[in-house]
Structure 1
Amino acid sequence: MKCKKLIFAAILLACSCVLWPQTSWSQSANDFVVEDIRVEGLQRVALGAALTYLPVQRGDTLNQFRVSQLIRSLYSSTHFERVEIFRDGNVLVVKVSERPTISNIVFEGNDDIKDEQLQESLDNSNIRIGEPLDRTVITSIENGLKDFFYSIGKYNADVTAIVTPLPRNRVDVKLLFEEGDAAKIRQINIVGNQIFEDEELFKQMELKFNTPWWDFLSETRYQQQTLSGDMETIESYYKDRGYLQFAIESTQVSMSPEKDGIYVTMNVKEGEIYEVSDVELAGDLLGFEDFISTILPIRTGQIYNQATVTYTEEFISNYLGRFGYAYPTVTTIPDINEEEKTVKLTLSVDPGKRIYVRRIAFKGNTITSDDVLRQNVVQMEGSWLANQSLETSKAQLSRLTYMEEVEFETIRLPNEDDKVDVEFTVKEQPAGSFNAGIGYGDATKLSLQAGIQQDNFLGTGKRVGVSLNTVSYQRSAQITYLDPYFTIDGISLGGSIGYSEFDGASFNVIDFNTKRWSVGGNLGYPINEVNRISFGLTYSNVELQRDNTRYVQTARFYDQFLNPNDPDAAIEYDSFLASVSWTRNTLNRGLFPTAGSTQRASFSVTTPNSDVNYFKFVADTKWYFPLTRNQRWSVLARLRLGYGNGYGDKNGVEQILPFTDNFTAGGADTLRGFENNTVGPRGVVRQSSVIATTPNGVPIFQNPENDQIALSQRSLGGNAMALGGLELIVPTPFVDEEFDNSVRTSIFTDVGNVWDTEFNYDLYRTLNLVSSSDELLDYSDWKLYRASAGVSVQWISPMGPMVFSFSRALKERPGDDARFFTFNIGSTF
């Protein structure tokens, strides 16, 4: 670029008007001593700034050579479009015409190149709003953009730069694009192949031709870069199958006269299959020769495989990188035996110097403090550089829910061949969720909700949550807190306090009311980078009103606290719930992962001194399997199991799991396609008719065999749960790849059930139902599963995660509430 500017300055110098009035001075016929300097034509550039570019001062002798220097210096400042030099007596007069200032830049007609990419290209050429316009660069930009269009097969494309003058020496710059249609590949010919048929090789190529109408995803337009990649793919295809001497000898690309069709011909030489006769290690392996030799991926007697050779080189490099040798050189030297069709491979290893980390820095974190990020970095300053530690650090940072992207770079220090700086570049994303709303429904009446959870409170990495909820059937408030970096060893400390009131009658489900206070704390201990164990203890006080409807499932729980003197009195019980949980996390990201897995198992049990004695076990696992290299296509498999029950007895009644702690299913986090918490056992009411009354007023009931039963409209939940599903994660239509970490689309199928292992179906199956539209099911049967399928779109919005699900129930049971469309805000992913 500098060379171009000098050439342009020389041309302008030759064209400049240099006027020298006829006069005489003692030095020579053309020399004179400058008594004063006058600069004319300045508008935007200050006089003082212009004088700094003049290599002449008062008292200097000016000659033709110094004039050339003066003009060259002014043009090199990039401020001036024209320069003229005059002499007025012994006064040097410099007349300039400043370059116009760019007022606006407009792109029109560009489809294949985004405005942001174009502006970045212009920035590299110093073409930006507010800067002076260098007209000499415009032509090179036009030609460069035309070359780009030619490389993607648009040979009729044209780019025109229009510069429109404006008042006050300003200009508008418009880049007008006429892209035209891309040339289609009419035919691809492969000449010289005998081992593999054309169709087999065409399958390996990204470029296609003669595709059926329905295969609209195939790439049929010619792109030079894609063709180069296909040639490398075909070469790898052969060499991975032993054809060591394979080569593409020539490639011809021809165009139709209309420039809309491309014909590609590749001439190949296949050669023969080679076998590995021997593998040797050479160079300095730092004493690891025996170990590396034992686990080398490539072995003697195998068919030559180029991919295995490359992997072997990377394996040795990565292994040495664990011990601080971050820049080893591993070269495979083949010794080919043409007669026996074998090859001896010598792996030459130069480990280089052991590299140490001088400093670790972070870039891109505007909210999260460096100390929080440093807590997740296992690579230490002052120690040797270990690639495994860097990758582990990147993985741990990526799993933070408030990190969208994490990358790292090792920067070699000048004059320090054994030291580097490590710089982590992070991109943050919304670190919490907010939910608020107002609504009205037949069952809920007026409802108000408000809640906020911040996973990165004030950039400290601490999780703080506050939620308030009030509907006709429930009012609740909860505060949660978690400090994942309570100690430098990674021990976490958390706690919560909450209060809720629930009115079952208002919800038209079960006639009971509860008031619950709870407070608890937990400690977490890291086992290693991916495993963690936590311990917790929660105290709860529950006041539960009597169930006047007498559901058979809830009556059994109430009977534990039966007061013969006041059978309808409310009950109150305290409990201390101790818990232990184990988590394992190898996901590549905290939100919207595409690879890795996560497992969690927890066991909780009330202490023997509690008023209710029960236990619960929950296990949850998710596995992500990427289907493509860029991981835009992945498969998610998930499974969740749960079981709870009571232990011991109270007042001679065997204890069971309180129905207020039952498992429920239905909704975005469990079974999409069903209304929230509606899947599972229904409440069963057994009704007996009075056929007579004794003289003392004691009712006489009919034979129990003639009793009737009624079912609740909503599920009571159960003490056992099994939920699972499969999801195909696909690129979101009409959304650019750069937004994959904030928008996700998946095609899913969910299956599962909630059941009650304590329900005795034989006691009720022969009884008549009060409503002929109801149907009694065996609520203890785990095989009464539900299933659904559909499409889900998830978005990390500024208010928190949003989930839109369109689903259809594939398997439902009587009484289920199936929903085609569901929407959630602030849900947990």
Structure 2
Amino acid sequence: MKLRQLVAAGAIVSSASLANAATSQEQFVVEDIRVEGLQRVALGAALTYLPVEVGDELNSFRVAQAIRSLYSSTHFENVEMLRDGNTLVIKVAERPTISNIIFEGNDDIKDEQLQESLDGNGVRLGEPLDRTVLTSIENGLKDFFYSIGKYNADVSAIITPLPRNRVDLKLLFEEGDAAAIQQINIVGNQIFSDTELMEDLELQYDTPWWDFLSETRYQQQTLQGDMETVRNHYMDRGYLRFNIDSTQVSMTPEKDGIYIAMNVSEGEQYTISGVELVGDLLGNEEYIGKVLPLTDGELYNQAEVTYTEEFISKYLGRFGYAYPSVTTVPEINDEEKTVKLTISVDPGKRIYVRRINFNGNTVTADDVLRQNVNQMEGAWLSNNLLESSKNQLSRLTYMKNVEFESTRIPGQDDKVDVDFNVEEQPSGSFNAGIGYGDRTKLSLQAGIQQDNFLGTGKRVGLNLSTVSYQRSAQITYNDPYFTIDGISLGGSLGYSEFDGSDFNVIQYNSKRWSIGANVGYPIDEINRINFGMTYSNTELYNTGYYEQTEQFYDQFREEDPEAPIKYDSYLASVSWSRSTLNRGLFPTAGSSQRATFSITTPNSDVNYFKSVLDTKFYYPLSRNQRWSVLARLRLGYGNGYGSNNGNEQILPFTENFTAGGADTLRGFENNTVGPRGVILSANSAATGPDGEQYPGDPAKNLVGVSTRSLGGNAMALGGIELIVPTPFVDAEMDNSVRTSLFVDIGNVWDTEFDYDKYRNLQAVSGSDDVLDYSDWTQYRSSAGLSVQWISPMGPMVFSFSRTIRDREGDDAKFFTFNIGQTF
């Protein structure tokens, strides 16, 4: 105690001596001011902080005031005032300037977060260094590490002097390992067991090795959330007087283990004795009273009370009352163990939207974004309309992230501005490829597709392809905002030449050109219907012989079986689409469905129909949705109708479904899964007098199958994927990079194939056996790993897969790579 008094007395004497030194123990009038020690700070800037001018009378009080003012400028590390005659001499030592900031050893905190924290404290490049601020930053960072269970962590600020009064600042981190939870005890619970209470806790201990989603390291914030979880468990079951009396967190001497204990008082169950709505409900008392879940005689449920308050608030928000006050007041009767709930409602003023602003869009025009916003300027502020607007904007493929906020206008308590903050992502894709295969040989392809052409929201595409089996060109256009009501208009023009001998399908060559148009109508914000019409002219030549194709060829062949086959078709289509996905690219929640039915008109040379259903469901597994499950299914069926030249119409084999490849069955070569071409060879058993060969017994004919796929008129493909965080990639990149573990399953078959016709025939030497291509149960499956990346050139897909089940003749592929693939 005496030592502290001596130190304090010494400090007072020292301050007094400084003041006396400056004033020579008497007051004087300042005739001149001289500042010494300035290097970086200009003289004029220093004098602006000095509350003393020439002609002022200086005393000890004014000296102390001047010193405090100079220190407050944050430019000086030391200030001393002296008197030279009637001249005030100010000696200063400037704070060093920060030349460089280095972070070393930080894993849990990113450099960007650290720099943001330093900026908030005025510690940045080119600014003077305040050593007192560094101490508080060090302590704040240590507190952060302690809150996540790293009790051995240490943070040191190392200052290295440099010439010209500059310094390097290094923050050195020694994080250490987080303390693992050794045990969690709940004390005082009798109604619910420890196992039942801890089942929903985020913090866990003694978990099996495969439960990699569990959080076993201690975090203070997580513990607070778990305490609320335990509280809700009781409150949602009527235990209105439940209380967590205390919580103890202790650690092992080595600071690597944590023991947690919660002391609880359960109390007894309470039932609801009455529910009363008071206040202004805008005349909707009867409706709200009917839909509320709170009823007399039931157990008190805190979750239902919260839901009731949120429901009323959101309901009033539909009518422009965006800031209502909804409060539930309980009247507890401890003797009867009942509670009466009085729900007080004050809707406040009706709020109107003055202006809707968009921030962050550097490419997309405001008008395009406005087309997807349901909330109107000048109308009531509706929380439902704002949420639906956010969802519609998020589903645009060129939007990475969308958020909104409403800001009250000063002086106008009934008006707000709504700001949509958007983050764009590349809206175009350049798809290109070069490859070589045993069958496809050298392949080249290139194309450009822009989903947001010049920021107008219009989709424009140009695709050119030249590979050994095909040359094609296609132009597509779609305007989703053709009218203000959301009616879309689009069209396409294409030409292609195809050679099946160089592809994984049966032998034939074709030329085809087409032109089409489509129009779409919105049913509501998630449903849409489209109508289309496409005219195409097709020429088939150099056709091979296969049993399944002869019935189609016979419709057109009259005299010359080698003549090319030409036909025109007018294909009408209708499609329905629905989407509740949370994003246009790489969604993690919601679902999408698309059903399409197309049919050629009766005046077409070929009459057929096709129907396809695509559906996807995303189920998030974690709160941040970095872990999700994708379940998908694709079904298809097509066939002919009517007859042509006495021949029953069938689905043209050029329209058959095929499978295998990145977007159908990974692990199998493109288009190799499904029926193969059947070749029937007649048995020549006799020679006539003229030397002509006569067929023998048809039962002794030979049969073979092609090594190429024919496809089928029916398809069922599905799969399930576990979407996981991409290793070594930050969470901010989840909208650009996706990794998933997948299982694919499916089949393509021909419902018109007659297996009995070939089952007893002898196979041609060297040929595979004929399988029952009408059997839908002969499915294939594969499993593997897929990585998808939205690169500057467009989407890229890398897949590593192994087949689980295959059939004779299938071509397996362990690794596939695609660029420009649509997700």
Tell me, yes or no, whether TM beats 0.5.
Answer: yes
User: CA offset at residue 283 of structure 1?
Assistant: 1.2
- The aligned length equals 812
- On the 8 A contact 1:18/1:84 being kept in 2, the answer is no
Q: CA deviation at 1:73?
A: 3.2
Deviates more, 1:225-234 or 1:11-20: 11-20
In 2, Cα distance between the equivalents of 1:725 and 1:211? 30
Structure 2, unmatched stretches of 5+, are: 1-11
CA-CA distance at 1:420 after TM superposition: 1.2
Does residue 232 in structure 1 map to residue 228 in structure 2?
yes
In structure 2, the CA distance between the partners of 1:303 and 1:630, relative to structure 1 (3 Å rule), is farther
Describe the shift of the 1:645–1:101 C-alpha distance in structure 2 as closer, same or farther (beyond 3 A): same
Match of 2:167 among 147, 164, 171: 171
- Check the 8 A contact 2:356/2:377 in 1, yes or no: yes
1:506 to partner: Cα distance: 3.4
User: Which residue does the alignment assign to 1:620?
Assistant: 614
Kept after mapping to 2: 8 A contact 1:803/1:827: yes
Deviation at 1:678, TM superposition (A): 1.0
Question: What residue is the counterpart of 2:37 in the other structure?
Answer: 41
Q: Which amino acid aligns with 1:585?
A: S
The 5-angstrom pairing of residues 124-203 of structure 1 reads 124-203=120-199
Greater Cα shift, 285-294 or 760-769:
760-769
Given the alignment, which residue of 656, 660, 668 partners 2:662? 668
Residues 47, 572 of structure 1: alpha-carbon distance in 2 compared, 3 angstrom cutoff: farther
Matching of residue 31 in structure 1 with residue 28 in structure 2: yes
User: Post-superposition shift, 1:67?
Assistant: 4.1
**What is the CA deviation profile of residues 332-371 of structure 1, one whole-angstrom value per residue up to 9, with x for unaligned ones?**
1111122221211111111111111111112222222222
Letter in 2 for 1:391: E
Conserved in 2, the CA contact under 8 Å of 1:13 and 1:72? no
- Structure 2 Cα separation of the partners of residues 496 and 14 of structure 1: 90
Out of 553, 556, 570, the residue aligned to residue 551 of structure 2 is: 556
Q: Does 1:827 align with 2:821?
A: yes
Q: Relative to structure 1, is the Cα distance of residues 544 and 14 closer, same or farther in structure 2, using a 3 angstrom cutoff?
A: farther
Aligned to 1:229, what secondary structure does the other structure show? helix
- Which letter does structure 2 place at the counterpart of 1:181? D
Question: SS at the partner of 1:505?
Answer: helix
**Secondary structure in structure 2 of the residue aligned to 1:810:** strand
Give 1:64 deviation, angstroms.
Answer: 4.7
Taking the aligned partners of 1:14 and 1:453, their CA distance within structure 2 comes to 79
Partner Cα separation in structure 2 for residue 480 and residue 14 of structure 1: 86
Pick from 54, 77, 80: which aligns with 2:76? 80
Comparing 108-117 with 350-359, greater Cα deviation is found at 108-117
8 Å CA contact 1:21–1:88 kept in 2: the answer is no
- CA offset digits 1:20-69 (Å, max 9, x no partner): 5879xxxxx623254x5544433333344334334445555555554444
> CA separation of 1:633/1:33 partners in 2, compared to 1, >3 Å: closer, same or farther?
closer
TM-score (norm 2): 0.93
Matching residue of 1:423: 419
Name the amino acid aligned to 2:740.
Answer: S
Alignment-derived partner of residue 443 in structure 1: 439
Deviation at 1:438, TM superposition (A): 2.2
Partners of 2:535 and 2:34 in 1: CA distance: 88
2:714 alignment partner in structure 1:
720
Q: CA deviation at 1:520?
A: 1.5
CA-CA distance at 1:648 after TM superposition: 2.5
Question: Does 2:274 correspond to 1:281?
Answer: no
Please say which of residues 796-805 and 345-354 is displaced more in the overlay: 796-805
Pairing of 1:243-258 with structure 2 (within 5 A)? 243-258=239-254
Shift of 1:789: 2.9
TM-score calculated relative to the size of structure 1: 0.93
Identical pairs, percent: 75
- Report the equivalent of 2:7: none
8 Å CA contact 1:546, 1:571 repeated in 2 = no
C-alpha contact 2:22 2:63 (8 A) present in aligned 1: no
1:7 counterpart residue number = none
Q: For residues 581 and 374 of structure 1, do their structure 2 counterparts lie closer, same or farther at Cα, with a shift above 3 Å needed?
A: same
| Cα deviations by residue, 1:623-670 (Å, 9 ceiling, x for unpaired) | 223334333333322222212222222222222222111111112211
Deviates more, 1:289-298 or 1:433-442: 433-442
Deviation at 1:772, TM superposition (A): 5.0
In the alignment, residue 384 of structure 1 is paired with which amino acid? W
Task: Mark the CA change 1:16 to 1:497 in structure 2 (over 3 Å): closer, same or farther.
Answer: farther
Q: Is the 8 A contact 1:109 1:176 kept in 2?
A: yes
Partner of 1:6: none
Distance in 2, Cα, partners of 1:507 & 1:645: 24
Q: Does 1:656 align with 2:653?
A: no
How much does 1:248 deviate?
0.9
Distance in 1 (alpha carbons) for counterparts of 2:233 and 2:176: 35
- The residue that corresponds to 1:755 in the other structure is 749
- Structure 2 residue 635 is the aligned partner of structure 1 residue 641: yes
Q: Which residue of 2 aligns with 1:572?
A: 566
Tell me what 1:26 maps to: none
Residue matched to 1:781:
775
C-alpha separation between the residues in 2 aligned to 1:520 and 1:828?
A: 21
Q: Distance in 2 between matches of 1:738 and 1:210?
A: 31
**What CA distance in whole angstroms lies between the structure 1 residues aligned with 2:271 and 2:534?**
66
Write out per-residue CA displacement over residues 722-742 of structure 1, whole angstroms, 9 at most, x where no aligned residue.
222233333334444333322
Q: 1:409 touches 1:424 (CA, 8 Å); kept in 2?
A: yes
Q: Which residue of 1 aligns with 2:6?
A: none
CA gap 1:516/1:172 in 2 versus in 1, 3 angstroms: same
Question: 2:761 aligned to 756, 764, 767, which one?
Answer: 767
Counterpart in the other structure of 1:460? 456
Q: Which residue of 1 aligns with 2:114?
A: 118
Secondary structure of the structure 1 residue equivalent to 2:502:
coil
Match in the other structure for 1:790: 784
Q: Indicate yes or no: 2:528 matched with 1:528.
A: no
Q: Deviations over 1:759-788 (max 9, x none)?
A: 222222222211455121222222222223
1:303–1:632 distance in 2 versus 1, CA, 3 Å? farther
Residue of structure 1 equivalent to 2:677: 683
Letter in 1 for 2:329: I
Answer with 802-811 or 278-287: which moved more. 802-811
Structure 1 gaps, min length 5:
1-9, 24-28
Shift in alpha-carbon separation, 1:752–1:16, aligned structure 2, 3 A: farther
Distance across 2 between alignment mates of 1:91 and 1:493: 84
Aligned positions of 1:288-327 closer than 5 A = 288-327=284-323
Q: Is structure 2 residue 585 aligned with structure 1 residue 591?
A: yes
Q: 639-648 vs 229-238, which deviates more?
A: 639-648
From the superposition, tell whether residues 473 and 135 of structure 1 become closer, same or farther in structure 2 (CA, over 3 Å): same
**2-structure distance, mates of 1:14, 1:683:** 107
2:340 alignment partner, one of 338, 344, 356: 344
Aligned ranges for residues 6-21 of structure 1 at < 5 Å?
20=22
Distance 1:624 1:186, change over 3 A: closer
